[in-house]
A and B are shown apart, each in its own frame.
Chain A
Amino acid sequence: MSAPLLTVENLSRHFGGVRAVNDVSFAVEAGAITGLIGPNGAGKTTTFNLISGLLPPTSGTVRLDGGMLTGLRPDRVAAQGVARTFQGIRIFPALTVAQNLRTAVLAGMRLGFWEDLLNLPAAQRAEAAATRAVTVLLCDIGLEDRADDIANSLSYAHQSLLGIGLALAVRPRLLLLDEPFAGMNPSETQQAARMVTRIRDSGITVVLVEHDMPAVMGVCDHIVVLDQGSKIADGTPAEIRSDRRVIEAYLGTDDDA
């Protein structure tokens, strides 16, 4: 077994009395798709928020490739090669699809303040490189023919794809996807799932949050199960499928929508 890319150790986050995440530890193998599953309210999104720097943890640490992520600002976490999407989608609604992607691509480029402002050759090279990168990204997420549409006007499924595209534009080593299949019909889900596999095959490690178990079983190499803030299981899809506590947790909360 190679060294894990992401290590989460004894991570906790409490909101007042609510223990949203409670002493959770797990490791994410490089080059694999890890599923983070659990019923609604299990603490999956909060775990992402802790990893990506949106929230400070109450206690515990997150390491990427040995380096500490805990305590870094979101843009610093992004610079370390961690990108994420949001449950319920977050894009720049008033910009076009291409402008959305371009923004994220440019954000990651090295370019001096004055070089940029004075439009020196370095800035022009960066813009040209960004144009190429956007073309590739549009292709990756399958929105080539929507490039000039205002993001707001896209269908929900397409907005979700654009959200993934924004994350890919960061050129991440680790990609955190929060319920990317929510609101998609079965064929869209299948397409998106194939895209996630392609992303993994291109060398990006993926952590996938879903509360819909069957949707992820087929895609994930490894699964971590949360319930009420705590980890209750950790293993291959086959192991998870037969785990008694997982079955209980899911049977107990059949009201997920």
Chain B
Amino acid sequence: MRTLGVLLAILLIAVPPFMAEYHVYLLSLTLLWGIFALSMGLVLGFIGEINFGQAAFVAIAAYASSLLRLKLGFSFWSAAPVALALVVGLAALVGLITLRLRGPFFALVTLGFGEIVRLIITNWQDLTNGPLGLRPIAPPESLFGLRFDSKLGFYYLVFATLCVSLAALARLIRARTGRMMIAVREDEVLAGFVGIPVLRHKVIGLCFSALVAGLGGLLIGPFLTLLAPGQFDLFASVDMVVMVVVGGVGTLAGPLIGAVFLVFMPEALSFARELRPVMMGGLLIIVTIFLPGGVIGLLRHGLTRLSSAGRGRLAVLR
């Protein structure tokens, strides 16, 4: 698994300079979705909740950093920490309000939160230019002699962000904090009695998730050169959910596989574009019912175990 990852990373560094610009763009898009899926994967797989407001976290980071650049003359790099702090702070607030409650409150409230954020962006026209959107958003300024104003340069920035996010989350789930999070996901009552502060660990998980979503959000403005509220609707969050579930809930590789599957494949093959939503929804239902371990589960357990995996709980993966 690890050697495979290293091999893949080398390919992702070495090959793009020889690729057509459109393909580099496509690859950046895929990796960007990979970052978003990764952030959702933490919520789904390690807190056991759905965050329908994930796109709002992305939007807040994107808008905050872009507004700081456009209106107050910040550089991309100085705006980034401010935007990220804002997103993480909001995530902590949302988490503290909803995650202490048992039941589907988190999913319901984040859905409302997502819509409210979109509504505010749409209606606060003096600041955000409303539905018409903010433009043009310039590429990040060069840093340490590295330039990001070409498709390729920007691709490497996306790639680096993905690697940093992945490394951070990999460390998180191996650290004590991560294992406490897994225990809380498995059985929060028992977790409390062995001495784990349940709410604290859920909120930490959500903050990390928001941090990663925010990192992706910093990039989306320069990537699209335009920010508009329509980009951050409910379906953007659900797309992330589908990626995680298809790839494999409760793993780090799963969301990335899901992102490749759902962004790169249809775009590259450009088939059935109008059927994409049905495909996404259908996949979500079918995979959840018959293959709760996703692609990763399939790879790990082999096709022979398919039937039992569909019915039972996939032990470690779930």
Interface residues of A (CB under 8 A from B): 52-54, 73-75, 77-79, 83-84, 86, 90-95, 99, 102-104, 106-109, 111, 113, 116-117, 119, 123, 126, 150, 152, 166-167, 169-170
Contacts and interface: CB of A to CB of B under 8 A. Distances in A.
A90 B180 CA distance: 16
A166 B187 CA distance: 13
A111 B186 CA distance: 22
Nearest to B197: A75
A90 B189 contact: yes
B83 to A, nearest CB: 22
B269 to A, nearest CB: 37
B187 A92 contact: yes
Given A94-B313, A106-B180, A74 B193 contact: yes
Interface of B: 171-172, 175-177, 179-180, 182-183, 186-187, 189-198, 313, 315-316, 318
Nearest to B177: A116
Given A84-B193, A86-B190, A166-B190, A152 B315 contact: yes
Contacts of A73: 192, 197
Given A92-B183, A95-B186, A152-B315, A104 B176 contact: no
A152 to B, nearest CB: 7
B187 to A, nearest CB: 6
B33 to A, nearest CB: 26
B176 A126 contact: yes
Given A73-B192, A84-B193, A169-B194, 16 more contacts: A73-B197, A90-B189, A90-B190, A93-B315, A94-B316, A95-B183, A95-B186, A99-B179, A104-B194, A104-B195, A106-B179, A107-B180, A113-B177, A116-B176, A123-B175, A170-B195
29 contacts: A73-B197, A78-B192, A78-B193, A78-B194, A79-B195, A83-B193, A84-B193, A86-B190, A90-B187, A90-B189, A92-B190, A93-B186, A94-B313, A94-B318, A95-B186, A103-B179, A103-B180, A103-B182, A103-B183, A107-B191, A107-B195, A108-B194, A108-B195, A109-B176, A116-B175, A119-B171, A119-B175, A123-B175, A167-B193
Contacts of B182: 95, 103
B177 A117 contact: yes
Q: Which of the listed residues B189, B190, B315 has the most CB atoms from chain A within 10 Å of its own CB?
A: B190
A111 B193 contact: no
Contacts of B172: 117
Majority DSSP secondary structure for residues of B touching A? helix
Contacts of A111: 176
A103 B175 CA distance: 11
Contact of B190 (A91, A113, A152): A91
B184 to A, nearest CB: 10
The 4 closest A-B pairs by CB, nearest first: A74-B192, A78-B195, A104-B194, A107-B195
B154 to A, nearest CB: 29
A167 B195 CA distance: 10
B176 to A, nearest CB: 5
A99 B186 CA distance: 12
Given A116-B177, A117-B175, A170 B186 contact: no
Contacts of B194: 78, 83, 103-104, 107-108, 166-167, 169-170
Contacts of B177: 113, 116-117
A126 to B, nearest CB: 7
B175 A75 contact: no
A106 B190 contact: no
A93 B187 CA distance: 9
Contacts of B171: 117, 119
Nearest to B192: A74
B292 to A, nearest CB: 12
Contacts of A74: 189, 192-193
A96 to B, nearest CB: 9
Contacts of A150: 315-316
A167 B191 CA distance: 11
B167 to A, nearest CB: 12
A166 B181 CA distance: 17
Contact of B196 (A53, A75, A84, A102): A75
Contacts of B176: 106, 109, 111, 116, 123, 126
A108 B194 CA distance: 8
Nearest to A169: B194
Contacts of A119: 171, 175
A75 B198 CA distance: 8
A115 to B, nearest CB: 9
B271 to A, nearest CB: 38
A122 to B, nearest CB: 11
A94 B193 contact: no
A83 B171 CA distance: 30
Contacts of B190: 86, 90-92, 166
Contacts of A167: 193-194
B179 A102 contact: yes
